[in-house]
A = this chain, B = another copy of it.
């Protein structure tokens, strides 16, 4: 299939496919002297793999690693996933802490609803 059809099938932009080729996530098939490049269903599967990995939070760099490893090395694949998991857990904790503070401030603000705003006050005076 052509790149346009591949893009539609995968639900990505044509430019994204070219970008992945530049990033080394997808091979660029040979272009016949007369004609355009053709893509196989395998490339489509690879694109879907990339999308699902992105939904799990993997970066393109990590996804390139996963693709290169393939079915071969469970251990190395798991190491990548564990690293991603650790990072996600850190981000969750950071966000939860922000949420707790923000939630408290918003509640206090709603209770008073008049200057001086506790949100502003907190940002001005919080201990460093």
- Tell whether, in the assembled complex, residue B71 and residue A109 are in contact, meaning their CB atoms are under 8 Å apart: no
- Tell whether, in the assembled complex, residue A128 and residue B48 are in contact, meaning their CB atoms are under 8 Å apart: yes
Q: Which residue of B lies closest to A48 (CB)?
A: B128
How many residues of A are in contact with the other chain, CB < 8 A?
A: 50
Q: Within the complex, what minimum Cβ distance (angstroms) separates A43 from chain B?
A: 14
Measured between alpha carbons, how far is A102 from B89 in the docked complex, in Å? 11
Q: Which residues on B sit within 8 Å (CB–CB) of A52? A: 122-123, 126
Could you tell me which A residues sit within 8 Å of B by CB distance?
45, 48-49, 52-53, 55-57, 66, 69-75, 77-78, 81-82, 84-85, 88-89, 91-92, 95-96, 98-99, 101-103, 105-106, 109-110, 112-117, 119-120, 122-124, 126, 128
